[in-house]
């Protein structure tokens, strides 16, 4: 018996660009590119469909985008402007069901099983959500409806922009078959290239490859590839994000940074922001991780697992700074392109004061975190951070 098609994936169309067009409507119809930094090391966050016709894509270097689309309109990302719309979007989804699994600021999965008497069929729910997004936020959304998250995701992508695609239960493999192999989640460029050597260009081609052949070539992931090609995917929709496995911050410099004092200051600022994120989640960490990238693109990570859980900025910075000093010295104190600090092996926060310790440090950290939460990360920075070169990217990662 087929599972009912009650899973919806909703995705805001070119979210950042759509938000920019709300305040700059004269740009409608033009190739608009929104990037995390517009310098030579900036990265495209999203772009309009007009820009995509020139080959511009998300995660592409801005420098490459300028080559493909030199006449495009390039805008710096403004997350403080996008965030309220993102919160409003997710609030709309929760009006239809509590079973909402965010997949980012601009997309989420819902399972609307059992809500038919209130809101109609899953397709009607998806249509209502899209209408509310358009009416209340002023932008468009695409949606896919099917029996599982994988097929619903492919369906919403197939409907872009501003579309709704419904895949009835039992028709998953039929829907997927004509689609390009890269449209199947988990198939990246390297996997696609290997599959092309096997004569696989569409998902239908992949469906015809015996599972044993895929397992022999890809190991345990071969079985997963076979199942996904047929639209089989049993991961349920989880309410909320679930618990983050890590919290981290990283920064890519506009120019390679040779100054150790400034690098330490940036690392200190990242420790404060990671500590604030841990506090909001009421978590502590057992492992601290440093990430460094040297030009042209040499990346290394170093980690240390501590005797006990840590959650204060001073503790995180002390561990991260020790990792930094050793790693930087091992690489001849070369200029740094990127630096990042992360906390992993998270657990419930249950902190006790150490001998001689007071609450003063915690209160100061809470005050700083509160100001940043209210007014943004840039409201407070250390002096050495402010002297650092302009950054191409400074974003939280989880």
Instruction: Quickly list DSSP for 43-75.
Output: EEEEE-HHHHTTT--TT-BHHHHHHH-TTSEEE
Compute φ and ψ for 75, nearest 5 degrees: -125, 140
Pair 266, 339: CB distance under 8 Å: yes
The H-assigned helical ranges of 230-305 are 260-281
CA distance 303 to 317: 13
Instruction: Quickly list DSSP for 65-113.
Output: HHHH-TTSEEEE--HHHHHHHHHHHHHHHHTT-S-EEEEETTEEEEE-T
Does the annotation mark 136 as catalytic? no
What single DSSP character describes residue 177? T
| Beta-bridge partners for 153 | none
Pair 333, 311: CB distance under 8 Å: no
CA distance 151 to 352: 47
- Listed in sequence order, the residues at least 6 apart from 357 whose beta carbon sits closer than 8 Å to its beta carbon are none
- Listed in sequence order, the residues at least 6 apart from 129 whose beta carbon sits closer than 8 Å to its beta carbon are 8, 10, 92, 93, 96, 141, 143
> Residue 7 corresponds to which tokens in the numbers above?
């899973």
Considering only CA atoms, which of 244, 245, 225, 280 is closest in space to residue 102? 244
What single DSSP character describes residue 134? I
- Listed in sequence order, the residues at least 6 apart from 174 whose beta carbon sits closer than 8 Å to its beta carbon are none
Provide the residue count of the chain: 398
The side-by-side arrangement of strands in the sheet containing 246-257 is 298-310, 283-294, 336-348, 246-257, 391-397
Task: From the candidates 20, 50, 101, 107, give the one annotated as an active-site residue.
Answer: 107
Q: What angle do CA 377, 380, 384 make, to 5 degrees?
A: 110
CA distance 388 to 255: 10
- Count CA atoms closer than 13 A to 259's CA, side-chain side: 11
What amino acid positions are annotated as catalytic residues?
Answer: 107
């Amino acid at each position: 018996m087929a599972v009912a098609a009650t899973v919806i994936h909703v995705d805001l169309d070119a979210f950042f660009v759509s938000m920019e067009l709300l305040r700059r409507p004269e740009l409608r119809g033009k190739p608009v590119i929104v990037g995390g930094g517009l310098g030579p090391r900036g990265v495209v966050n999203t772009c309009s469909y007009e820009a995509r016709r020139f080959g511009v894509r998300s995660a592409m270097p801005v420098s490459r985008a300028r080559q493909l689309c030199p006449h495009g309109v390039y805008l710096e990302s403004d997350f403080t402007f996008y965030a309220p719309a993102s919160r409003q979007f997710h609030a709309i989804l929760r009006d239809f069901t509590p079973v909402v699994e965010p997949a980012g600021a601009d997309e989420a999965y819902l399972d609307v099983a059992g809500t038919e008497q209130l809101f109609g069929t899953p397709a009607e729910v998806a249509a209502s959500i899209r209408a509310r997004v358009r009416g209340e936020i002023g932008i468009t959304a695409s949606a896919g409806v099917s029996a599982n998250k994988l097929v619903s995701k492919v369906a919403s992508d197939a409907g872009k922009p501003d579309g709704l695609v419904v895949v009835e239960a039992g028709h998953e493999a039929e829907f997927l078959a004509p689609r390009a192999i890269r449209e199947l989640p988990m198939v990246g460029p390297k996997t696609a290239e290997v599959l092309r050597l096997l004569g696989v260009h569409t998902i239908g081609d992949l469906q015809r490859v015996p599972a044993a052949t895929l397992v022999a070539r890809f190991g345990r992931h071969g079985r997963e590839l076979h199942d996904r090609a047929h639209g089989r995917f049993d991961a349920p929709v989880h309410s909320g994000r679930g618990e983050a496995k890590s919290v981290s911050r990283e920064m890519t410099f506009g120019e390679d940074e040779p100054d150790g004092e400034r690098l330490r200051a940036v690392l200190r600022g990242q420790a404060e922001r990671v500590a604030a994120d841990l506090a909001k989640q009421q978590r502590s960490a057992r492992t601290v991780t440093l990430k460094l990238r040297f030009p042209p693109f040499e990346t290394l990570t170093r980690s240390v697992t501590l005797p006990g859980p840590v959650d204060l900025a001073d503790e995180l910075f002390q561990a991260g700074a020790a990792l930094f000093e050793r790693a930087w010295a091992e690489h001849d104190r070369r200029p740094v392109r990127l630096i990042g600090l992360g906390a992993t092996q998270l657990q419930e926060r249950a902190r006790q004061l150490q001998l001689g310790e007071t609450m003063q440090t915690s209160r100061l950290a809470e005050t700083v975190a509160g100001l940043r939460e209210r007014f943004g990360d840039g409201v407070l920075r250390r002096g050495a951070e402010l002297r650092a070169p302009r950054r191409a990217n400074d974003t939280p990662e989880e």
